């Protein structure tokens, strides 16, 4: 991270981050670094009660929320005496993302404004905590996780400022009428995604919500050409550099693991069966994402657990007996999925799903390599699922141009193994 960006994170720029806390934190970590102890990177993101921007303090009459807890704002408003609102970029259950101009640094960025609702405020604090630690481990952003530039509490709304990026790979796909990405684009994006998430896994962190909506292009400018066969214009993104976003559900190994994680379509079988989960659930999600980028369709298009499991069996084969026997869920009977193939739901699965290899658009070697990788990522048993370290050396990525390759993760992992054990991220 540039020195200017780092300066935005010091207490002088965040009124409720006391200088003595910062000094104490620096002192502790300076000692830890020299003694080989684990870094104490836990920052208190709870505003002080005397902070005028706190949700417990009097709110100026000009600060309003709507009935859902969103901050009411308009173009030209200035937040925290620093961020000028330019436009709304998007909206979600958590709040809104707004394009703002930083009046101090004189550049444009994206500001995530969380709803003034306790559960979303607490989730935002966890995201800030994870992003702080990612920034400490990777200050230059070499591992392709989005850069957090600032954070503050604006009258009960946790706000997180990020570097400005382009469209998500999902939004680009949707705006392109769900025309799939070229294979070379799938290769480059898949490589970067494996690289970024491997960095998290190496630091004992599981993202848990990997999906195309959480992968953003650095720049989503495109060329458009008319496809006579499809009788429509087809967009081709100029640059396929991506960044990983949304760490609101990221979980460290030692923390409490919620029973259910991940967005439905990208949810691993061990999560559905409530067998416990760890880093391999991210690998499953990446397998689903690669399929979606390649074909423009969702692999598991369902909203029901039993149907989801039936789709898995239709596409990937029978769920292992060990998993069926171990689960406490009611989806199996005598070790077999309790599913009626002759029902309307059964016909839907039969008509809309087929064995994985039959989705290949070509029998060329590079297509077979992609599907071999996806098959390994969609291994039912988490312990047998391919790791991201091994994924990065899979033959599918051999054709990646030298200009798109990132520092060799194998060399970095070998040379820094002892260092990583001492300084891995932890809450």
Indicate which residue of 150, 202, 209, 282 is catalytic: 209
> Cα separation of 116 and 124, whole Å?
11
User: Is 112 annotated as contributing to ligand binding?
Assistant: yes
> Cα separation of 421 and 244, whole Å?
24
Q: Helices (H), strands (E): how many in the chain?
A: 14, 16
- Tell me the two tokens of residue 350: 């039969």
> Cα separation of 392 and 227, whole Å?
33
> Is residue 398 annotated as a catalytic residue, yes or no?
no
Following DSSP, what letter does each residue of 41-110 receive, concatenated? -----PPPTT-TTSTTSPPPTT-EE-TTSPEE--TT-EETTTEEEEEEEEE-SSEEEEEEEETTTTEEEE
Report which secondary-structure segment, H or E, holds 225: strand 222-227
> Cα separation of 217 and 240, whole Å?
6
> Cα separation of 15 and 240, whole Å?
38
**Count of other CB atoms within 10 angstroms of residue 391:** 25
Active-site residues: which are they? 209
Binding residues: 112
Binding residues for ATP: 112
């Amino acid at each position: 991270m540039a020195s200017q960006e780092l300066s935005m994170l010091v207490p002088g720029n965040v009124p409720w981050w006391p200088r003595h806390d910062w000094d104490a934190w620096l002192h502790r970590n300076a000692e830890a670094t020299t003694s080989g102890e684990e870094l104490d990177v836990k920052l208190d993101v709870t505003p002080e009660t005397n902070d005028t921007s706190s949700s417990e303090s009097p709110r100026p009459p000009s600060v309003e929320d709507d009935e859902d807890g969103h901050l009411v704002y308009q173009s030209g408003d200035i937040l925290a005496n620093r961020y000028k609102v330019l436009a709304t970029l998007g909206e979600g259950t958590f709040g809104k993302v707004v394009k703002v101009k930083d009046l101090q640094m004189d550049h444009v960025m994206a500001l995530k404004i969380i709803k003034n609702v306790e559960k979303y405020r607490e989730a935002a604090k966890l995201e800030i905590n994870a992003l702080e630690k990612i920034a400490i481990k990777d200050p230059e952003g070499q591992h392709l996780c989005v850069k957090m530039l600032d954070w503050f509490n604006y009258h009960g709304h946790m706000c997180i400022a990020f570097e400005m990026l382009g469209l998500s790979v999902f939004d680009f796909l949707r705006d392109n009428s769900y025309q799939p990405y070229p294979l070379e684009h799938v290769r480059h994006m898949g490589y970067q995604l494996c690289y970024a998430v491997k960095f998290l896994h190496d630091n004992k962190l599981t993202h848990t919500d990997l999906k195309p909506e959480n992968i953003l292009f650095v720049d989503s400018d495109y060329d458009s050409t008319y496809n006579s066969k499809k009788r429509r214009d087809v967009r081709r993104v100029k640059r396929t550099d991506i960044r990983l976003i949304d760490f609101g559900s990221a979980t460290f190994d030692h923390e409490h693991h919620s029973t259910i994680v991940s967005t439905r379509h990208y949810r691993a079988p061990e999560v559905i069966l409530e067998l416990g989960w760890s880093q391999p659930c991210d690998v499953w999600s990446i397998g689903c994402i690669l399929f979606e980028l390649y074909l423009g369709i969702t692999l598991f298009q369902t909203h029901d657990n039993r149907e989801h499991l039936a789709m898995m069996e239709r596409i990937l084969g029978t769920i292992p007996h060990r998993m069926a026997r171990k689960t406490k869920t009611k989806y199996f009977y005598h070790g077999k999925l309790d599913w009626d193939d002759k029902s309307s739901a059964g016909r839907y699965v039969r008509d809309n799903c087929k064995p994985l290899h039959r989705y290949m658009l070509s029998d060329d070697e590079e297509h077979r390599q992609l599907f071999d990788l996806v098959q390994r990522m969609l291994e039912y048993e988490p312990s047998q699922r391919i790791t991201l370290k091994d994924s990065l050396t899979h033959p599918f990525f051999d054709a990646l141009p030298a200009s798109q390759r990132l520092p060799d993760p194998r060399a970095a992992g070998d040379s820094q193994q002892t260092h990583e054990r001492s300084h891995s991220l932890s809450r």
